[in-house]
């Protein structure tokens, strides 16, 4: 993830504590869903007067709304119910993948409010053109969001490749090498909205963004949250992300998680990454479609057809999925031996295919994970949550920046 350039930060100094407390109060309201000034004061350990002053600033900045009167649940006079604003500051997430672009706007509470997805082939198209397409889709999404009075304060791109310092170092399945994605997208979007100030643009790997969504809106947001997991994103490529103690493990260059390029067979087919026999060659979308006798370039309709055939019990399809599941299980067992995660989450196209992939993956895991740690029939392997995907995760990363320092975004 790159640091979002964002609006210039106010000078540090005497207002640092107040800015910190603004964030603390906003986070507390977001955590509670709906609460009162008194309850916030009790929880964060500030005086009621201090909290009231901070709440006024958050109301004025459009971060909070209040409505009606509610009883605090304790003795005393009723308080006003505070909650995160459903309008105002929002995050824009833009997933650019090989055969689709998906854009979403999330509000301060993380809810997915506007979504626009277009299926199109981004292969063999110059990167600048793909980013212009994505900017057009983003601009239309922002127009819809404005209709709901949501005002995006930043953009995060989610891209299927090695992303660092605003640049895609390599995205083999898109055929990108050293593409200044943030800059190109930002300029294209600004050109489409000349009347608006340019939005700061950040970028991240798509599997990282999807794993963040799983952490905040899926497995990590359950009653018994999963705070450490290995995430696999099945697409044209096979992306991956590692979450440890509620944080992404990014690695020395920001490139951790590339499980799609772990080798299954050193003599296997050449991969777009330059190596041979990578997992992607056995368990990527093209391999699944090809194995089932479908056109490997059939895209989303192909995956839908694959699922339909599997549901029909088509032998070749089921066998192809089982074979891919074995390969996934082989590589995932190694990753589990290395990382000892609480859970393994399969997302992207793997989610609907779990009924057929899952048993084969679990079989390999229970046979290969060091002793007794992967009991058969356990629940450590799971499909990704339907409420989390890379675009929402990317948008939520923008919102996280807002919540971490609301003062920086007030009065935009």
CA 378 from centre of chain: 26
* Binding of a copy of itself by 321 (CB under 8 A): no
* Binding of a copy of itself by 180 (CB under 8 A): no
* Binding of a copy of itself by 86 (CB under 8 A): no
CB of 257 to a copy of itself, least distance (A): 7
Mapping DSSP to helix (H, G, I), strand (E, B) and coil, where does residue 375 land?
A: coil
Select from 45, 371, 377, 379 the one that contacts a copy of itself (CB under 8 A). 371
* Binding of a copy of itself by 175 (CB under 8 A): no
CB of 152 to a copy of itself, least distance (A): 31
**C-alpha Rg value of the chain to the nearest Å:** 23
Q: How far is CA 272 from CA 80, 124, 180, in A?
A: 58, 14, 20
CB of 63 to a copy of itself, least distance (A): 32
- Please tell me the count of residues contacting a copy of itself according to CB under 8 A: 46
How many Cβ atoms from other residues are within 10 Å of residue 379's Cβ?
7
* Binding of a copy of itself by 325 (CB under 8 A): no
* Binding of a copy of itself by 347 (CB under 8 A): no
* Binding of a copy of itself by 340 (CB under 8 A): yes
Instruction: Identify which range of 57-65, 144-152, 239-247, 397-405 contacts a copy of itself by CB under 8 A.
Output: 239-247
* Binding of a copy of itself by 372 (CB under 8 A): yes
* Binding of a copy of itself by 41 (CB under 8 A): no
Select from 237, 254, 325, 348 the one that contacts a copy of itself (CB under 8 A). 254
* Binding of a copy of itself by 378 (CB under 8 A): no
Instruction: Identify which range of 179-187, 212-220, 347-355, 368-376 contacts a copy of itself by CB under 8 A.
Output: 368-376
What are 115's two structure tokens? 């979504």
Phi, psi of 327 (to 5 degrees): -65, -45
| Distance, CA of 137 to CA of 195 (rounded, Å) | 18
| Distance, CA of 292 to CA of 290 (rounded, Å) | 5
Burial of residue 368 (CB within 10 Å: 0-12, 13-18, 19+) is middle
| Distance, CA of 151 to CA of 142 (rounded, Å) | 8
| Distance, CA of 389 to CA of 210 (rounded, Å) | 5
CB of 202 to a copy of itself, least distance (A): 19
* Binding of a copy of itself by 263 (CB under 8 A): yes
* Binding of a copy of itself by 370 (CB under 8 A): yes
Contact indicator for 365, 398 with CB cutoff of 8 Å: no
238-244 and 229-234: which strand pairing? Answer: antiparallel
| Distance, CA of 239 to CA of 291 (rounded, Å) | 20
* Binding of a copy of itself by 284 (CB under 8 A): no
Mapping DSSP to helix (H, G, I), strand (E, B) and coil, where does residue 59 land?
A: helix
CB of 239 to a copy of itself, least distance (A): 12
- Of 73 and 274, the one with the shorter C-beta distance to a copy of itself is 274
Mapping DSSP to helix (H, G, I), strand (E, B) and coil, where does residue 154 land?
A: strand
Binding residues vs a copy of itself (CB under 8 A) = 162, 169-170, 172, 177, 228, 240, 242, 244, 249-259, 261-263, 266, 273-276, 326, 330-331, 333-335, 337-342, 367-368, 370-373
């Amino acid at each position: 993830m790159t640091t979002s350039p964002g609006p210039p930060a106010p000078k540090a100094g005497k207002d640092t504590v107040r800015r910190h407390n603004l964030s603390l109060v906003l986070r507390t309201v977001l955590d509670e869903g709906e609460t009162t000034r008194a309850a916030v004061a009790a929880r964060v350990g500030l005086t009621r007067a201090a909290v009231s002053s901070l709440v006024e600033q958050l109301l004025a900045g459009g971060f909070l709304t209040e409505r009606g009167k509610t009883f605090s649940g304790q003795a005393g006079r009723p308080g006003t119910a505070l909650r995160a604003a459903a309008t105002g500051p929002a995050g824009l997430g833009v997933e650019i993948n090989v055969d689709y672009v998906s854009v979403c706007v999330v509000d301060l509470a993380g809810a997915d409010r506007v979504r626009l997805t277009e299926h199109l082939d981004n292969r063999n198209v110059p990167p600048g053109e793909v980013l212009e397409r994505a900017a057009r889709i983003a601009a239309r999404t922002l127009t819809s969001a404005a209709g709901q009075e949501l005002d995006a304060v930043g953009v995060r791109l989610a891209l299927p490749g090695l992303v660092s310092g605003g640049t895609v170092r390599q995205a083999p399945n898109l055929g990108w090498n050293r593409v200044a994605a943030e800059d190109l997208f930002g300029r294209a979007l600004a050109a489409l909205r000349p009347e608006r100030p340019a939005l700061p643009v950040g970028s991240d790997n798509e599997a990282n963004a999807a794993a963040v969504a799983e952490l905040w809106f899926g497995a990590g947001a359950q009653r018994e949250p999963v705070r450490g997991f290995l995430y696999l994103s099945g697409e044209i490529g096979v992306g991956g992300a590692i979450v440890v103690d509620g944080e992404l493990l990014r690695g020395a260059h920001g490139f951790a998680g590339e499980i799609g390029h772990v080798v299954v067979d050193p003599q296997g087919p050449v991969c777009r990454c330059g190596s041979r026999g990578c997992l992607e060659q056995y368990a990527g979308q093209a391999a699944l479609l090809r194995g089932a006798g479908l056109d490997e370039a059939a895209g989303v309709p192909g995956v839908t057809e694959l699922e339909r055939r599997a549901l029909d019990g088509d032998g070749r399809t089921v066998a192809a999925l089982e074979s891919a599941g074995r390969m996934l299980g082989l590589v995932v067992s190694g990753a589990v031996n290395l990382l000892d995660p609480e859970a393994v989450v399969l997302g992207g196209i793997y989610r609907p295919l779990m009924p057929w992939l899952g048993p084969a993956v679990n079989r390999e895991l229970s046979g290969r994970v060091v002793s007794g740690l992967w009991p058969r029939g356990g629940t450590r392997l799971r499909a990704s949550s339907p409420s989390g995907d890379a675009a929402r995760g990317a948008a939520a990363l923008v919102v996280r920046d807002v919540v971490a320092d609301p003062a920086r975004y007030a009065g935009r």
